[in-house]
Amino acid sequence: VVADAEWAREIRRLADERDAVLLAHNYQLPEIQDVADHTGDSLALSRIAAASTASTIVFCGVHFMAETAKILGPGKTVLIPDERAGCSLADSITAEQLREWKAGFDDPVVVSYVNTTAEVKAETDICCTSSNAVDVVRSVPADRDVLFCPDQFLGAHVQRETGRENLHVWAGECHVHAGINGPELAERAAANPDADLFIHPECGCATSALYLAGEGTVPEDRVKILSTGQMLDAARETGASSVLVATEVGMLHQLRTAAPEIDFRAVNDRASCRYMKMITPAALLRCLSEGADEVHVPLDVAERAKASVERMIAIGT
Ligand code: 13P
Ligand code: SF4
C-alpha cells in the first residue's frame, strides 16, 4: 500500500462512512499524522476522545491510548489499526505488582502515568501524562505518600520539580527514551553550541541535560524538559535557529511543520518506537475497511479505571 493521495482519499471516505474520528499520536509515521483529524500528545488526544461525538474512534497510537479512549467512552467503538502495538513502559508494572507495592504503605495516593494497562489504572487514584504529571502530584495533599509509576525518569523529573520527599517512584522505563543517553546528548550539545535542547522527561538523559546546564556547558534557559505537546508550543516561541530533540523521532515531523525555519535534529536518530510504527498505511486501511482491531476493556475494570482517567484530563493545561 502506497500512502499517496488516492490512499488518503480512501481513508477519509471510509472514516466518514463509519462516522469515525481519526486520532494520531505525535510519534506516528508522517503520512498517518497528515491523514488524521487530530494529531497530539497523550493528554490532548485523551481530551479530544472524551469530547468527541463520533460513534467510532480510530486510535493511531499504542494500545494503552486506545484503551484510555474506551474507558472514557465505553459506548463508543474504539479501533486500533494493529492491536499488537504495545508499550514497553506500560509492560513494566502489572496490577498485581501495584497492589503489592500499595500494601506496604498506609493509605497512599497512587499516581500512574497514562502509559499503563487498564488493570493498573483501575488500581490508581489519579492518572497523569508527561504534560501534567507535576500538576497532578502537586494536587495531592502534602502529608500523603505518593506512589508514582511506572516511569523512573518522569518520576525523577516530578521529584525535582516538586521537591517532595514522600514521592516513591517505581523503577520502570521506556526502552526508546531510556536509550537516549547522557554522553550522546553531551556530544551533540558540544557540537551545536547555539541549539536549544528539547528533552522529553521519559529520557535517560534528562538528568544529564540539567547537569550540562549546571556546569555551564549549555545556558540554563536553553534546556527545556517538555512533553511532546509542550515541544510544539516551545518551537513556536523559541528564538533559537536550531534545536536538539531528545524523544521518539516521529516528533520531528510535527516540529518541522510547526516551525519550518528551525533546524530540528534528533539527539539519537535511532530512537524509533517499533510499536508506534506498527500503525502503517496498510494497517490503517485494513482497520477502516474491516472494523478491526476492536479494543475491549472489561466493564468492571473500565468502571474502576474511569475516575483516575477523568481526574487526569481535568488537571493541567
Ligand atoms: P506524550 O505524548 O504525553 O509526551 O507521551 C510520550 C509517549 O511516550 C507516549 O508513548
Ligand atoms: Fe511506550 Fe516508549 Fe513507545 Fe512511548 S515510545 S509507546 S513509552 S515504548
Alpha-carbon span 187 to 184, nearest angstrom: 5
Alpha-carbon span 310 to 140, nearest angstrom: 15
Assess if residue 144 is contained within a domain. yes
Both 185 and 240 in one domain: the answer is yes
Both 152 and 193 in one domain: the answer is no
Q: How many residues does the chain have?
A: 317
Both 80 and 99 in one domain: the answer is no
The residue whose CA is least distant from atom 8 of ligand 2 is: 87
Residues 97-122 pLDDT 10s: 999 999 999 999 999 999 999 999 99
Residues 46-80 pLDDT 10s: 999 999 999 999 999 999 999 999 999 999 999 99
Assess if residue 112 is contained within a domain. yes
159 lines ligand 1 (CB under 6 A): no
Assess if residue 310 is contained within a domain. no
Ligand 2 atom closest to Cα of residue 27: 5
276 lines ligand 2 (CB under 6 A): yes
pTM equals 0.95
Assess if residue 98 is contained within a domain. yes
Both 225 and 158 in one domain: the answer is no
Cell 486506545 -> residue:
66
ipTM of the complex: 0.97
pLDDT given for residue 235 in this prediction: 97
The CATH number of whichever domain residue 66 belongs to comes to 3.40.50.10800
Residues 253-301 pLDDT 10s: 999 999 999 999 999 999 999 999 999 999 999 999 999 999 999 999 9
117 lines ligand 1 (CB under 6 A): no
Higher pLDDT, 30 or 316: 30
Assess if residue 96 is contained within a domain. yes
pLDDT given for residue 250 in this prediction: 96
Both 110 and 37 in one domain: the answer is no
**Is-contact 172 152, C-beta < 8 A?**
yes
Alpha-carbon span 35 to 31, nearest angstrom: 6
Both 253 and 229 in one domain: the answer is yes
Both 134 and 99 in one domain: the answer is yes
Alpha-carbon span 61 to 70, nearest angstrom: 14
pLDDT given for residue 207 in this prediction: 83
Both 12 and 76 in one domain: the answer is yes
Q: Which ligand is nearest to the CA of 316?
A: 1
Cell 534557559 -> residue:
221
275 lines ligand 2 (CB under 6 A): yes
56 lines ligand 1 (CB under 6 A): no
Ligand 1 atom closest to Cα of residue 176: 8
Q: How far is the CA of 201 from the centre of ligand 1 (A)?
A: 9
CA atoms within 13 A on the CB side of 144: 15
| Structural domain ending residue among the three candidates 125, 159, 175 | 175
115 lines ligand 1 (CB under 6 A): yes
CA distances from 36 to 39, 77, 140, 312 (A): 7, 17, 36, 24
228 lines ligand 1 (CB under 6 A): yes
Q: How far is the CA of 27 from the centre of ligand 2 (A)?
A: 9
Q: Which ligand is nearest to the CA of 63?
A: 2
170 is written with which cell numbers?
Answer: 517505581
Q: How far is the CA of 161 from the centre of ligand 1 (A)?
A: 19
Residues 204-240 pLDDT 10s: 888 888 888 888 888 889 999 999 999 999 999 998 9
pLDDT given for residue 213 in this prediction: 86
The residue whose CA is least distant from atom 10 of ligand 1 is: 115
Q: C-alpha angle with apex 127: 75 to 152, nearest 5 degrees?
A: 140
Assess if residue 306 is contained within a domain. no
Assess if residue 315 is contained within a domain. no
Q: C-alpha angle with apex 71: 53 to 112, nearest 5 degrees?
A: 130
Alpha-carbon span 98 to 79, nearest angstrom: 28
Model confidence at 174: pLDDT above 90: yes
3 lines ligand 2 (CB under 6 A): no
Residues 178-205 pLDDT 10s: 999 899 999 999 999 899 999 999 998 8
Q: Which ligand is nearest to the CA of 87?
A: 2
**What domain range includes position 65?**
5-86+276-297
Assess if residue 191 is contained within a domain. yes
Number of compact structural domains in the chain:
3
The residue whose CA is least distant from atom 1 of ligand 2 is: 87
Both 97 and 71 in one domain: the answer is no
| Structural domain ending residue among the three candidates 175, 203, 236 | 175
pLDDT given for residue 217 in this prediction: 81
Q: How far is the CA of 74 from the centre of ligand 2 (A)?
A: 24
Both 109 and 71 in one domain: the answer is no
Both 75 and 103 in one domain: the answer is no
87 lines ligand 2 (CB under 6 A): yes
In three-state form (DSSP H/G/I as H, E/B as E, the rest C), the secondary structure along the chain is CCCCHHHHHHHHHHHHHCCEEEEEECCCCHHHHHHCCEEECHHHHHHHHHHCCCCEEEEECCHHHHHHHHHHCCCCEEECCCCCCCCCCHHHCCHHHHHHHHHCCCCCEEEEECCCCHHHHHCCCEEECCCCHHHHHHCCCCCCCEEEECEHHHHHHHHHHHCCCCEEECCECCHHHHCCCHHHHHHHHHHCCCCEEEECCCCCCHHHHHHHHHCCCCCHHHEEECCHHHHHHHHHHCCCCEEEEECCCCHHHHHHHHCCCCEEEECCCCCCCCCHHHCCHHHHHHHHHHCCCECCCCHHHHHHHHHHHHHHHHCCC
pLDDT given for residue 121 in this prediction: 98
130 lines ligand 1 (CB under 6 A): yes
pLDDT given for residue 76 in this prediction: 97
Both 168 and 206 in one domain: the answer is no
Sign of the CA dihedral running 225, 170, 251, 21: negative
| Structural domain ending residue among the three candidates 128, 156, 175 | 175
> What are the two backbone dihedrals, phi and then psi, of residue 226, each rounded to the nearest 5 degrees?
-140, 145
Q: How far is the CA of 16 from the centre of ligand 1 (A)?
A: 28
